[in-house]
Structures are given as structure tokens and as C-alpha cells.
Structure 1
Amino acid sequence: MSARSELLKKLREDVHRPLSKEEIFEKFEIDKSQQQMFSDLLDDLIKTGQIFKNSQGLYGVPEKFNLIGGRIEKIASGNAFLIPDDPEKEDVYISSANMNGAMHNDKVFVRPVPSDRGKSQAGEVAEIIERVNKEVVGNLEKYKNYGFLIPDNKRICNDIFIPPEALNDAENGQKVVAKINRWPEKNRNPEGEIIEILGDKDDAGVDIEAIIRQLNLPGKFSDKVLKQTENIPDQVSEDTITKDDQRQDLRDLKLVTIDGPDAKDFDDAVSIEKLSDDVYRLGVHIADVSHYVTEDSPLDEEAFSRATSIYLVDRVIPMLPEKLSNGICSLNPQVDRLTMTVFIDYRYHGKKGIEIIDHDITKSVINSNHRMTYGEAQDILEDNDQAKKDEYSDFIEELKMMNELRRRLRQNRFEEGSMDFNFPEVKVELDEDGHPVNLKKRKHREAEQLIEEFMIAANRIVAAEMSWREMPFIYRVHEEPDLDRMQQFNEFIHNFGYRLKGVKNGVHPRALQEILEDVRGTKEEKIIETVMLRSLKKAVYSEKNVGHFGLGITHYSHFTSPIRRYPDLTAHRIIKETVTEGYLSQKRQDELDIELPKIADHCSLQERRAMEAERDSVDLKKIEFMEDKIGEEFEGIISGITGFGMFVELENTVEGLVHIKNLRDDYYHYDEEKYHLIGERTKKIYRIGDEVKVKVTKVNRDERELDFELLEKID
């Protein structure tokens, strides 16, 4: 057991009062020569929220102080939830009055308080461990000799006060970056100074630049990082392959990459072999990024800091420099590439059945036959396109075998309880100046499903293997939903005539999947899917394996995208060491015991921030797309009903509000139980899913708001 694990275990089980640092040294018999190292370990455990130090300088585990550690997630109302570090703990509701100066994404300790939300656990922020929003981006509203920065990120609910001496020549209406010098307190806004002027808020390109600065990420890689890439070869040498006798040579194996048409970084290639009449071998071959990005190197430190590639509407902010992401690590066709391979042998039973009979994880070298797009694969599978079949004639049989494997894996996964949400994705098409010219829905067809199923299969195998070996590892976990949230969801769907099974004793994901299947194609599909998703916990990274509720499986990891996700790169390092040596040394396990919680927490945070930025960039361009359409009429579907009006979604996925005060033919009242608006005199009813015609009346890019006028209900 590592020093970290042993310390935490003893503080939980053997210590019955808070201890000073000196008492800890004495109790654990720490030699003077080791005291500095042990002191550093205590500081590290405080920063990661695993140990609490009180105002008297005494140490203990948080639960002994009646505290829960985690990160703040603000919601639109100004209230928040604590997402606990321990994925097995329930989320904690925090009212805005109990935030005590904490902001969105801050790492905090929370103390439970009496709840007025039924069985929901409530809390107040007791201590802030780590501040995340040190710099904030937004619009400056300038008054006589002071100003307020209105944050672009609406989860940062406090406007930033800018005193006269801190305006630094910024003008009213400019998009600026402020450094926070004084954090919020009760009844007091945070205070900051302008450190950068991005430009006028309506200038071309400023909107996306603001989203990038919101992440506080450098656009370019440092000279130190780029210098390291100079020593990385452009090609895989034969010597590199031959001197590693544990690396399997798979260059004669037929395989393919299947990705989107714009993709340049190919993490994964797939292969399939028929071993007998009913046995098939799937090969998932993932770029061996860890061969080039060595631990603790400048490249590794930069990759850890970024943690993920970020895909905005007009650009990619990569985790790794282009020489790696699009070059030596990318599984481009007709070139040798180093990989980590997962082989899975399946036996088919009848027309639907499937079981895993064997698997292997190995270092490898491959040479991909083809770079195929999803569209090309779909043309072959669905349309039997002869021109595409001729182009890929050497891989048609393999593609058909893959599609059959996809069908069985997918069907088996949903039968086991995996959940299948049906939210449409939208691609924003831009002109040369970055202005949106089209919003195009993306379809999730067989070709996309094929790669999705194969990646899930590999991720499962890797996680199960490491769990079975009882080695420290980084998992992708999705904890069971809180019971009270499921009860609230059940009450909500009851309005539409649905009922959730097992809600009193703990919901199985299969019960939620049955609801998703029942609502598919109905008027209320989107709202029920949306509320269900909000009722679930968020998937995160963790060193603890607690399973993945949404996928309905007990072991899951992220292994298949090491070019663009740091947890996958971390997983590769651990797996490679394990399969090469057969075990991890005790020293290495001790190191991982300390490092993995920090990696998991940081990567979960960066993933949330990246997703917010990606969503913001799409929403921004959707609103911009509608700016020149004021006065135009559209048909849409009512996607939400509230006490202040109804939300209408257009065919292009843009959503706007018809305010209740603008419904002119009657006074309308919101029936909360039946979830509809009803006219006082006419008794006319507006429900989720009703088709309506609307006119665009107002577009507010700053607030990301779109207003409609209702013209008619379409019968």
C-alpha cells in the first residue's frame, strides 16, 4: 500500500481526533529525513481535497469534519450543485445564498445543511480549495469613471466591478478580459482589472476569440514544446520495429480508418477476420502516442495542461502539436504506424446472439489500407454504391462483416441496459469570413455506429483487464442517479402518460432506455430526453471503478483517442507497462496512487470547460445565423413550456422564445401538472410537440437569445 493510501486509511480508521503535522509525524513514525517529503504529501492531499486542514492547523479526512469535497457546477438560476470528488457520493444542492463567494468550477469543501428539497442533500460552501476563474471574458459596460464586466459565461453569475484605475483605456461595449483581484463575498461583486482588450464586441472574429480566451489556453505551443517535436521522426523506422520484440507486426493485416470528411487526426483503425463459421476477431488499433510523448517531458506537461482537443465551429485547438496529431501519430493510409491493439474474439449464436470468448492487448505496428469517410462507408452499406464498391473493392467483404458485428453488439448493448439518446447534432457551415451560411443536421447512421460500437468494445476490454489485475488505473465512470431526481423525473413524465419502473428501490438503466424507446417519434420526445439527461449525473474520470450507468456496464475507460484526450494517453502508459512486464512495480503503483486522482480531477474539469466552449461556439453562430432573418416566418415545434412562455425549435435546430405576454388572443395560464398553456377565455391549449408558425422579432447575440412572435398553430 502506498504512503498516500496508508495515511488516508489510518486517518479514517485509527484516528479519532484532528492531528497536528507533528502528531502525524509521530504517529506514523516518520524519520526526520522523510518529514519534508511527507509534508509535501499532506499539502498535495489538501489541494486535491482528500485531507482538510482546519483553522487551528489540524489535519483530518473531510468526512470527519462533516465535509464533502468536489467542484461547483452553477445553474442558470444562480444556485449550484457540488459534483463530489468521490463518484459514489450524491450531488449536493447549494443555494445562491450558501455559495459564500465560490464560483462556477471552483474546487471546494461543502458542509451539509438542512434541506427544503425533500430527500435532496443540501449544503453550504465551507472552504474554497482552488479558484478556477482567475480571468473572466465579457462585455464592458462603462459608466462615468468605473465599469462592470458582464461575463460571457452565464454560469459566472456575478458581474465583475472594474474601478476607475483598473479600466486601462477600455471603452464601453468592448470585449475584454479581466483579472479578478478580489473574490465575491456576500452582497459584494468580485472586483477586477482589465488586462486585455479583444476588440469591439461586434468585430469579426472577436466572438470566437473570446470563447478561446475564456478557456485561458494559449493558441500556440511554446518554443520548448516545439523543440521537443524536432527530435521526433516523421516516419516509423524499420529499426524501431525490429528492436522491440514485443511489438506485433500487423502490417499485412487488412484494416481501415473511418472518420468524418474533415478529420485529420486518425486515432483508430479497425480490422476483422473470420476465424471459423461462427467466430470473428475484431481488431481495434489505436495510435501509440505514449511512444512519442514521454512522461514529464515538455510535450507531456503541455498535453496534461490542455487535457483535451477542443473543437470549435471554425477551428481546432489541439492537445498535441500538428507534427504528432496529424503526422507521426495519425494512422494515415499506406504508411507504417506504431499502435496499441485490442483483439476481441466473438462467437455468434443464431441470428442475434454474441459472446466474447477471448481477447488480447498488445503493442503493434500497422499499415492502414484505406482512409474512408463515414459517408463513403454509408454509401456502400446502405446504397450499395457501385463506384465506391469499386474504389474499395479489396475491403467490401470486411465492411459487410463489420456491419453485422455492429448490429449484434449494438442490439446486445441495449438489451443489457445501455441508453440511447437521440439528440440531433448540427454542423455550422461558415463562409471565408467566419459568418454562418447554413445549419446542417448530422445523421448518426450505421457507419458512425460501427466505429462507436467498436470503440466501446475496446474501452470495455481494457477497463475490465486492468480491474481484474487490480492495478491503479483511470476509469470513465458514470454513477447511478440520485433517487430523488429519478422520483422527480417520474413525476414529470407522468404528465405525458409514462411511468418509470423501479423508482422506489433504484432505477436500472434498462428502465430508462424503455422510456426512450416509448417516446421515440412522439411530440414529447425531445423534452423527455432533455429532462432525463439533466436528471442523470455527469460522466467523469476517476481512479475508482464504479461502473458506467449510462452504458449499463461495470467496467469502462477511455482508451481509443490518445491524440486528443489525456486520460487515454495515461491509460496507454499504464496498459503498455502492464502488458510488457506483466505487472507494475510497487514503486510505480505508489506513484500512480498519488497522480491518478489529480489527473482524473483536472481532466474532468478541462473536459467540462471544453464542452461549454464547444457548445457556446455553436450557439453563438446559430444566433448569428438568424440575425438577418428578423421579420421572416418559419414553421417549428413547441419544445418547452414554462410560466413565462413557450420555446419553439425550428427545423434547423435554432430555438427561440414566444413570451406569454405576446400571446394576444387571450390571457394564457401555465398548468404545471399538465405541462401546457391554456387560454383563460378560449380554452385554447399549447402543448409540447405542437406544430406552430412563428416570426422572428428579436435577435440578441450577447445574451444568446432569440424571440419569436406566434402567428398560428398548425393543425
Structure 2
Amino acid sequence: MKISKSLVIKLMRQNGGSASLRELMGMAGADRGQRLRVRQLVEAMADEGEILRVRGNRYALQSASTTLTGKLSTHRDGYGFVSADDGGGDIFIPARYLRETMHGDQVEVAVLPAPGEGKREGRIVRIVQRAHTKVVGRLREAGKAALVIPEDLRLSQEVSIPARFRGAARDGQVVVAEIDRYPVGGRPAEGRIVEVLGFPEDPEVEVRTIIAKYELPVEFSPESMKAARSVSQSVSEADVGARTDLRSRLTVTIDGETARDFDDAVAAERVGDRIRLWVSIADVSHYVRPGSALDRDAYERGTSVYFPDRAIPMLPEELSNGICSLNPLVDRLALTAELLFDASGSMVDSKFYPSVIRSAARLTYTTVRRLLVDQEPDIVESHRHLLPDLLVMQELALILMEKRRRRGSIDFDLPEPQLVLDLQGGTMSIVRAERNLAHRIIEEFMLAANESVASFLEKRNVPSLYRVHEPPDMIKLRDFREFISGFGYDFRFDGERVDPAALQLLLDQAAGKPEERLINEVLLRSMKQARYSAENLGHFGLAASCYTHFTSPIRRYPDLQVHRILKGIITGTLKKGEALEDLAGKLPDMAIHCSSRERTATEAEREIVDLKKVQFMRGRIGEQFDGFITGVTSYGLFVELIELFVEGMVHVSTMPHDFYRYEEQQHAMIGERSRRTYRLGDRVRVIVAGASLERRQIDFVLAGEDGEAVGDYQHMNQEREEYVRVPVKGKRPVAKGTKPGGGGAGATTKRGGKGRKPPTRRRR
């Protein structure tokens, strides 16, 4: 029988659309001499895209696959995943199918048929929309032309720069290249230099690089600035109008020491055996009208972005730090949630209305802790007029906290770093961010307000934006259960669903143990990401049937949109009919956009913190520190320094005088000859061996009893090129099938001050 392409396709159709080489050879009746021809022909057809390689060493017809669209996320190791729009989970894309794509592209993917159950695999068949028009990277000489090597390691394609488009850029500088031609047919992308950021050794250049890399808009449009400057910085009687007057109500703001924008203020009073709570949120919607220049800029940004030494606000300062900020002792317009709770913490009544308030005091978390927890006499004396109301707030917050825990809300107890900066923006120290009772008070009140607004709108069938957090993928959860079994833990799980209370009980059991942090982190990565949605899907992490974001309209666009909807309903300006139908049609795209902007902001904020840590540790190379082993992998130990709250890697190639074997079940490295064991939670002494700005990576080596390094590390970067491309952050022994760095629930609503965002884990 003649071996041809048409025969291969015919045989595959007869076999249900897919076949292995062995099956094709058998069906074709190929003799020994023809088998090589079958193999070569099938491989060539797969290389040309006429048929598809699928799992199990099989091949499939294009027609046997299902096509879906979604966003491509590529990994620095070459492979990728597509988050499909069908909600069926990620689709794995092998590296061979990614040659013309770039991280973030919207793509059409053919889902390949696979035997049995398991993760979906696919092949890119079409690029629907490009994610990047520009690339930020380092310029490298390459003969007559030059190459831009992307800063983002997920962008594996270099951009070729013809000499005529290079401008004044010099070798080694960080530049912004505009793409003129995308990679196609084995040819690299081609572009031109449009901006030179400078040499990477300059700390300011590194920050500008990250801003450019994530395409964060720094400047507001001239129209926005003109509108912002035209807004009066005081509240007039005409502004007050028919609003509820709360200016005589003792109301305070509680924020971080360096905060400059105050978008929430609280008040409380006891009413018999009940407590009434007022949560007043800056009425940004009064000043930012839909469709205005201010609104367009705010929507494009989606959120404020907070770096340790600066912020990129969603709104111009005239609004964010001015008339919208609930500054003390001045009149401000607000939207108030008035909530009544019984002794058990159940909400028995709620009201929502436009208001005018006057904050009596600008308190900090530290001051409230010193007042309520430490009870320092001088602080108590100077705040005596506020103390009764603050004690009522404390009582209510503790009741709400306990009620939320009882219903199953998950509270990840992961430490967060706080960078202490000098006047020039340099890092002086890195410490653990404090989370005290004052943080808890505001956190509980914001959660209660967000949940009450969501319930109010849902009960009235009003289209709105919800903050949703779907239950975890069951496969990931089974893998996580297998992972924690190595520590002797388990939780209630029937294989189909899990109660969040069971997971919180697990975290309680691990509290205070060496493995506590690891279990928290792996569980967090096993969770889905919280996101915005026009459909109420509940919030798994909070064990809430209905949740939204209402409390931060100065820095989050979804909150501003929820304000508009809520105010429209309670004032009667948003009525059923065409207006609601128009709103319902806009919300799905708005939810997708705002979720995407939030993820971008989070990635940029994390990278800036990593950069600041590396910059700080470059000045400590050669110094010794004590630390704890926070992770054990096949390639080494993760160690967190006790004094500086910095984490780095002791690579296995630098560990001394032995061959170390990774014991996954014991979470340990054990020397073959010496039986020396390094286990999760062990205390070790390390020397800072390196700090790479390019890789955002810190390297340690173990220190001996004499204080000298006990391993040879002088050339470790050159010897382990594969390792140095892996960043310090996000790598742990993870549950089988769990992607390192995968999204978790995030958590609450509260922010810190200027240049400080709430810990990512609390972004619910």
C-alpha cells in the first residue's frame, strides 16, 4: 500500500480521529521498510500543522479538536496555559505551539483529544488579538542590528531593531521598543526604539522599567487635569442639598501613618443590647460623572497602584487627596451604610443614603493599638473623648470576626514584608508588617459594608458588579490533600465539594507549627483568584453568598461603579427599563477589564517589592544572618532571614562535602554520606552570596561554625544557568499539579497609606 498524506488522514478518520504511530503502521500494513516512511511522514504532517500531536504519543486530525478562545499565559520555561472563556479550566499549551505568540495574547486554541480524564491540552490555531504593541527590555548588540531582550521572562521572543531605528540607544540600556512586525514563520519580531530609560544600575531606572513594562499610565489626560483643577475644594450648601447630615455624629478615620487619601470613616453607638454602625465612604461619584474625562482615565487605570515610595493614583490628587478624601475637621460628601447588629453579630437592619460628614479625628492603626490594646496612659488621656465609641467598635469587630469564623471564612495567616525607606527612597530595613486589632476593626467593618450593599442590590435584582471567589478546582484540592498528608493532616472532603470551614480548621491545626507557612501558601495557590463579575457567584474564601466592593472608590473603579448603581437605586434616578438594560449590557466587559487591571497592578507591586529587596541586599553581600528554612525543593533550600524578613535560595550545588538527596515526604535534604539533614523549619546560618537585579533573586550559602562559607559558590551563577532564571519568589514544593505562583483568594478591602497597598493576601 502506498504511504501518503491522504492515507494517513483516511486511517485516522477510521480510527475515530486519532491514532498512535504503531496503530497507523498496523492499519497501513506497513512492512519493516515502510515503517520509517510512516514515521517521517506523520512527523512532517505534525510539524506543518496538518495534524496535531496529542498526549499519549498520539496524533489527531484538526477536525477532531474543539476550538475555544482565551488569554495566553506563557511560562519562562517555554510552555503556556490558556485561560479559556468557557470556564472549564486552563488549557496546557506545549512550547512547540507557541513560536509566533506572546504572553498575554488573546488566542483561539484547538483543544486536543486525550485518552481518559485529566488536564486539557491544546494548540494555538489563531491569534485573535495581540497583547503587546511595545516591549521593554535591554538592548544588546547583534551585528549590524540590535536585539531587545524583554525584561519580562515570559516574553521569550526577542525584538530585532534595524540600525536605522535604533536612535541614540546604547548597548546595555533599558529601552522601550515599539513592535512593527510580530514573529512569524520563524522570523523574529521587528521594531524600533521609542524611549530610552537608561542603564539598569540606576535604581530609578529600574522603577521606570517596571512602570513601562506593565504599561501603567502615569500621566492624566489634559482634559482630566483641567476638570480636576476646576473642582471646588470645599463642600457648599448646594452640594449638601437633601443629604442626611451626619456632621454631629462622632466619626473617625483609621489608616496607616503615611496615608493621604481617606475614603472610609466609621462611627458606632450602643442601642440597648444592639450596636449601630455607620460606614461612610467618600462620594466620588458626585465628582466623577460617567463618560467624563475623569471617568475615562479612571476606567483605563481600573485601580491605583502602590509602590513602597510612590503611588500611581486612579484619580488626580485634587480629588484623591483633596475634596474626595475624608480629611479631619472638614465637611465631606459621603455614601453611608447604616447597619444595626444584634448581640450575636447578625445584621437586623440596614440603610443606605447620601450623607455629609465631618471626621472628628484622623487616627492611625498604631494609635488605636496603643489606646485599646496597650492602654498607654498618655494616649488614653489625649483620646479620652473618643474612647467610649472606640470601645464599642472594638466590641462589635470582635463579635463580627467570631461570627465570620463560625460560618467558615478562611483567614490566611501569611506574614507580609514592610519596607522602611529613607528620605531618598532607599530601603533602610525590611520588617514584618504589623496587623493589629485596629486593622481588624476596619477590616471587619469594611467586610460588613461590602456584604450588606451586595445583598441590598441582589435582593432587588439590580444589575451590579460582584466580587466573586469560586470554589477551588477539585483536582487541585485532591492534590493539596495528598500534599498535607505528608505532615499528618487531613480535612473533610468528599471529592466533589469542600466546606471552607474545613479548610480554616486545617489552618488552625497547623498554626504555630514549622509547616504552618508552607501549608498556608500551598492552600492559597490551590485556590482560584477572586475577580469581578456581573453574575453573583458567591465568595468561597469569605463563606459569603453575596459580596461586592463598595468601600474604596478613590482607588478602585468597581467601587465607583457600585456607588453609582446604589445611589441610583436609593435616589430613584436609576429605574427599571432601558437604563437598567443598558447597564446590564456594559457590566460583563467592565468586570473583565477591572479584573485584568487589578492583576496587572498586583504583578507590578510584587515586582517592585522584589526589586527593593534585591537592591537592599546588594549592600549586604558577604554578611551573615540567621534564618529559618521555609521551603525544601529538589534544587535547594529556601531560607528566610529572621532579622530582615528577606528570603533567598541556598542552591543544592553549593551545599558542602556531600551529595544531598531530596526527601519529599520528609520535606528535607539528607546527605548521602554524612546523613546531615536540613528540614523545613530548621534554623540555619547563611552568608549572602549574591543579589541579581536582573533576576530579582537573592542567593545564600550555608555558613560553617567558623563563620566561613561551607560550599564553593564563586562560580555558581555560571554553573547553574537553569536555576538562575527561576526567581526567589513563588517557588515551593507544591501539590502535584499545582502551578507555582497560581492565584489565590486574596482578601479584604483595606489599604495602607501613600505608597503602601494592603497585603495581597487580604485583597478579597
TM-score if structure 2 supplies the norm length? 0.81
SS in 2 for 1:394: coil
Which letter does structure 2 place at the counterpart of 1:431?
A: D
Offset of residue 356 of structure 1 = 1.1
Alignment of 1:688 with 2:680, yes or no, is: yes
Alignment of 1:549 with 2:540, yes or no, is: yes
In structure 2, which of residues 631, 634, 647 is the aligned counterpart of residue 643 of structure 1?
634
Which letter does structure 2 place at the counterpart of 1:657?
A: M
Alignment of 1:409 with 2:386, yes or no, is: no
Q: Distance in 2 between matches of 1:219 and 1:453?
A: 33
SS in 1 for 2:475: helix
Shift in CA distance, 631/117, structure 1 to aligned 2, threshold 3 Å? farther
In structure 1, which of residues 240, 261, 274 is the aligned counterpart of residue 257 of structure 2?
261
Q: Distance in 1 between matches of 2:697 and 2:187?
A: 28
Offset of residue 707 of structure 1 = 1.3
Shift in CA distance, 453/137, structure 1 to aligned 2, threshold 3 Å? same
Q: Which residue does 2:245 correspond to in 1?
A: 249
Q: Which residue does 2:189 correspond to in 1?
A: 190
Q: Which residue does 1:672 correspond to in 2?
A: 664
Q: Which residue does 1:233 correspond to in 2?
A: 232
Superposed CA offset, 1:518-574 (max 9, x none): 222211122221111111111111111101111111111111000000010011111
Does the aligned pair in 1 maintain the 2:65–2:113 contact within 8 Å? no
Q: Distance in 2 between matches of 1:206 and 1:232?
A: 34
Does the aligned pair in 2 maintain the 1:478–1:537 contact within 8 Å? yes
Offset of residue 107 of structure 1 = 3.0
Shift in CA distance, 674/182, structure 1 to aligned 2, threshold 3 Å? farther
| Structure 1 residues 49-448: aligned runs within 5 Å | 66-85=66-85, 89-99=88-98, 101-114=100-113, 119-185=118-184, 189-242=188-241, 245=242, 247-276=243-272, 278-348=273-343, 353-448=344-439
Offset of residue 343 of structure 1 = 1.1
Does the aligned pair in 2 maintain the 1:690–1:713 contact within 8 Å? no
Superposed CA offset, 1:562-616 (max 9, x none): 0000010011111111111186332112211221112111111111111111111
Q: Which 10-residue stretch deviates more, 677-686 or 91-100?
A: 91-100
Q: Which 10-residue stretch deviates more, 217-226 or 480-489?
A: 217-226
Superposed CA offset, 1:466-497 (max 9, x none): 11111111111111111111111111111222
Does the aligned pair in 2 maintain the 1:487–1:503 contact within 8 Å? no
Superposed CA offset, 1:261-298 (max 9, x none): 1111101000112111x111111100000000000000
Q: Which residue does 1:559 correspond to in 2?
A: 550
Does the aligned pair in 1 maintain the 2:341–2:347 contact within 8 Å? yes
Q: Which residue does 2:442 correspond to in 1?
A: 451
SS in 1 for 2:619: helix
Shift in CA distance, 445/82, structure 1 to aligned 2, threshold 3 Å? farther
Superposed CA offset, 1:638-691 (max 9, x none): 122222111111122211111111112210122234332221112222222111
Offset of residue 368 of structure 1 = 0.9
Q: Distance in 2 between matches of 1:158 and 1:408?
A: 54
SS in 2 for 1:205: helix
In structure 1, which of residues 619, 622, 640 is the aligned counterpart of residue 613 of structure 2?
622
Shift in CA distance, 289/432, structure 1 to aligned 2, threshold 3 Å? same
Superposed CA offset, 1:393-435 (max 9, x none): 2210111111111111111112211111122222222233332
SS in 1 for 2:441: helix
Q: Which residue does 2:585 correspond to in 1?
A: 594
Q: Distance in 2 between matches of 1:114 and 1:646?
A: 39
Alignment of 1:473 with 2:469, yes or no, is: no
Q: Which residue does 1:662 correspond to in 2?
A: 654
Gaps of 5+ in 2: 1-63, 707-764
Q: Distance in 1 between matches of 2:551 and 2:452?
A: 12
Q: Distance in 2 between matches of 1:102 and 1:510?
A: 42
Does the aligned pair in 1 maintain the 2:76–2:154 contact within 8 Å? yes
Q: Distance in 1 between matches of 2:411 and 2:83?
A: 24
Does the aligned pair in 2 maintain the 1:105–1:605 contact within 8 Å? no
SS in 2 for 1:656: strand
Q: Which residue does 2:504 correspond to in 1?
A: 513
Which letter does structure 1 place at the counterpart of 2:72?
A: I
Q: Which 10-residue stretch deviates more, 402-411 or 434-443?
A: 434-443
Shift in CA distance, 152/682, structure 1 to aligned 2, threshold 3 Å? same
Does the aligned pair in 1 maintain the 2:574–2:580 contact within 8 Å? no
Does the aligned pair in 2 maintain the 1:647–1:658 contact within 8 Å? yes
Shift in CA distance, 542/98, structure 1 to aligned 2, threshold 3 Å? farther
State which structure, 1 or 2, has the greater radius of gyration over its C-alpha atoms: 2
Offset of residue 712 of structure 1 = 4.8
Offset of residue 181 of structure 1 = 2.5
Superposed CA offset, 1:296-351 (max 9, x none): 00000000011111101211111000110011100011111111111111001xxx
Offset of residue 180 of structure 1 = 2.2
SS in 2 for 1:168: coil
In structure 1, which of residues 568, 571, 577 is the aligned counterpart of residue 562 of structure 2?
571
Does the aligned pair in 2 maintain the 1:416–1:510 contact within 8 Å? yes
Q: Distance in 1 between matches of 2:164 and 2:486?
A: 56
Q: Distance in 2 between matches of 1:313 and 1:538?
A: 24
Identity %: 41
Say how many residue pairs are matched: 642
Superposed CA offset, 1:37-89 (max 9, x none): xxxxxxxxxxxxxxxxxxxxxxxxxxx99444443334443433333456x54
Shift in CA distance, 707/514, structure 1 to aligned 2, threshold 3 Å? same
Shift in CA distance, 125/556, structure 1 to aligned 2, threshold 3 Å? farther
Q: Distance in 1 between matches of 2:76 and 2:521?
A: 16
Q: Distance in 1 between matches of 2:280 and 2:540?
A: 26
SS in 2 for 1:233: coil
